[in-house]
């Protein structure tokens, strides 16, 4: 087992603190939500489009083809 130097521990703590901060976690959550919405309602990727075709045509504000 190798001991970590105090400086590397400090960097690791700061990185951990930044990653787990409310703004970063919120941004990650919002990005993942936005991409999931895009994938379900707006992507033209054929397998996904065909699977949710009916849902898209039955939801207001969603354009299909």
Partner 1 sequence: MSKLKRFTLTSAVCLVGIILYGWIGLSQLSQPSIQLTTSPVLSQIKPFEAEADEPQAPSQLTLQASDRAGHALKNARIHLTLLTPPKTPWFTTDFPIVEGTTLLDMETLAPNGKLTLQQMLPIRGDYRLRVNVTPTVANAFAPIQETLNLSVSENWVKYRNLGILAAILFAVGLGGGWVIGNRQKIQPGEIAPQRVRLLLSGVTVVAIAALLFVNVSAEFAQSHGSMAMSHETEEAPLSDKPAKLNTQGLAVELSGDSSAMVGQPAKLQVSVVDTKTNQPVTEVTLKVTATQLEHHWGTFAYQGIPDRNGTFAWQQQFFDGAPHRIEVEVAPQAKATRQFKPFQVAQNVSVEGVAPPLQVRLIALAYFTGLVGLGLLLGLGLQRRRKQSLRLT
Q: How many CA atoms lie within 13 A of 46 on its CB side?
A: 0
* Closer of 14 and 38 to partner 1 (Cβ): 38
CA angle 27, 30, 35 (to 5 degrees): 125
CA distance 33 to 50: 21
Residue 7 Cβ vs partner 1, minimum distance, rounded to whole Å: 19
Q: What residues line the site for partner 1 (CB under 8 A)? A: 16, 19-20, 22, 24-26, 28-39, 41-46, 49-50, 53-54, 56-65
Residue 11 Cβ vs partner 1, minimum distance, rounded to whole Å: 14
């Amino acid at each position: 087992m190798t001991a970590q130097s105090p400086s590397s521990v400090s960097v690791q703590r700061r990185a951990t603190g930044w990653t787990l901060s409310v703004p970063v976690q919120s941004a990650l959550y919002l990005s993942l939500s936005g991409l999931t919405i895009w994938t379900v309602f707006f992507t033209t990727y054929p397998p996904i489009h065909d699977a949710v075709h009916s849902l898209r045509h039955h939801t207001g504000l969603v354009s299909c083809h």
